[in-house]
Amino acid sequence: MGRRLSLLLLALPVAFAVPVRAAAGDVAGSRPSVRVRWSPGDGLPDRDADGVPDAAADVLRIAARVADEFRAAGLETPGDGADGGLDLWLGEGPPPAGTVGLPAREALRDPPGFRAEVGRRLAEAFLRRWVPGAPAWWVAPSACWLAERATGLRPSSCGNPALRWTHPEPGLLATGPLLAPSNLALLECLGGVRRVRSALRATWRRLATDPGDPVGAVNGGLVAAGLDLPGLFLRAGIARIAAGNLPARESLRVENLPVLEKALEFPPGPLGGALLHLLPDPRFPAATVVEIDPDGRALRGVVLGRRQETFFDRVDLRPDPDGVLRVTIPWHDYREAFLLLVRPDAEPGPLEVLVDAEPGDPGPPFELVSFSATATAGGNVFVEWRTGREDGVVAWIVERSLDDGPWQAATPVPLPSLGSLTGGGSYVVPAGPVPAGSVSRWRLVALLADGFRRTGPVVRAAP
Question: What CATH number has the domain bearing residue 373?
Answer: 2.60.40.10
Neighbours of 421 (CB within 10 A): 8
Q: Which has the closest alpha carbon to 181: 148, 196, 207, 159? A: 159
Residue 363 — pLDDT band, cuts 50, 70, 90?
confident
Of 35-44, 192-201, 234-243, 289-298, minimum mean pLDDT range: 35-44
Residue 240 — pLDDT band, cuts 50, 70, 90?
confident
Of 22-36, 168-182, 349-363, minimum mean pLDDT range: 168-182
Beta bridge pairs of residue 26: 37
Q: Can you give the pTM of this predicted structure?
A: 0.83
- Across the range 419-441, mean pLDDT stands at 83
CA distance linking residue 59 with residue 118, whole number of Å: 7
pLDDT, tens digit, for every residue of 330-349? 999 999 999 999 999 988 88
CATH of the domain at 301: 2.60.120.1050
Quote the pLDDT of residue 40.
Answer: 77
- Higher per-residue pLDDT: 463 or 244: 244
Q: With respect to residue 90, please indicate whether it lies within any of the assigned structural domains.
A: yes
Q: With respect to residue 137, please indicate whether it lies within any of the assigned structural domains.
A: yes
Three-state DSSP class for residue 216 = helix
Helix (H) or strand (E) run with residue 20 in it: strand 20-21
Verify that 283 and 297 share a domain, yes or no: yes
Contact of 57 with 111, CB cutoff 8 Å: no
Beta bridge pairs of residue 300: 342
Q: With respect to residue 185, please indicate whether it lies within any of the assigned structural domains.
A: yes
Verify that 30 and 129 share a domain, yes or no: yes
CATH of the domain at 31: 1.10.390
Rg of the chain over all Cα atoms, to the nearest angstrom: 29
Verify that 370 and 396 share a domain, yes or no: yes
Verify that 234 and 262 share a domain, yes or no: no
Q: With respect to residue 45, please indicate whether it lies within any of the assigned structural domains.
A: yes
| CA 270 centroid distance within chain | 19
Question: Of 293, 326, 360, which one is at a domain's C-terminal end?
Answer: 360
Verify that 226 and 144 share a domain, yes or no: yes
Verify that 176 and 318 share a domain, yes or no: no
Verify that 332 and 256 share a domain, yes or no: yes
Tally of structural domains, the chain: 3
Of 83-87, 148-152, 254-258, 285-289, minimum mean pLDDT range: 83-87
* Whole-number average pLDDT of the chain: 86
Quote the pLDDT of residue 170.
Answer: 74
Residue 10 — pLDDT band, cuts 50, 70, 90?
very low
Quote the pLDDT of residue 72.
Answer: 97
Verify that 186 and 273 share a domain, yes or no: no
Verify that 343 and 417 share a domain, yes or no: no
Q: With respect to residue 247, please indicate whether it lies within any of the assigned structural domains.
A: no
Q: With respect to residue 49, please indicate whether it lies within any of the assigned structural domains.
A: yes
Contact of 288 with 328, CB cutoff 8 Å: yes
- Indicate if the pLDDT at residue 11 is higher than 80: no
Residue 148 — pLDDT band, cuts 50, 70, 90?
very high
CA distance linking residue 31 with residue 77, whole number of Å: 9
What contacts 24+ positions apart, CB below 8 Å, involve 46-54?
Answer: 50/21, 51/21, 52/19, 52/21, 52/27, 53/90, 54/107
- Indicate if the pLDDT at residue 135 is higher than 80: yes
Verify that 263 and 408 share a domain, yes or no: no
Question: Of 190, 213, 241, which one is at a domain's C-terminal end?
Answer: 241
Angstrom CA distances, 319 to 67, 322, 341, 451, stand at 44, 7, 12, 15
Q: With respect to residue 162, please indicate whether it lies within any of the assigned structural domains.
A: yes
Verify that 233 and 270 share a domain, yes or no: no
Contact of 103 with 92, CB cutoff 8 Å: yes
Q: Where are the alpha helices (DSSP H) in 44-135?
A: 54-72, 104-109, 111-130
Verify that 393 and 347 share a domain, yes or no: no
Quote the pLDDT of residue 21.
Answer: 41
Question: Of 310, 331, 360, which one is at a domain's C-terminal end?
Answer: 360
The residue range of the domain holding 294 is 252-360
Q: With respect to residue 163, please indicate whether it lies within any of the assigned structural domains.
A: yes
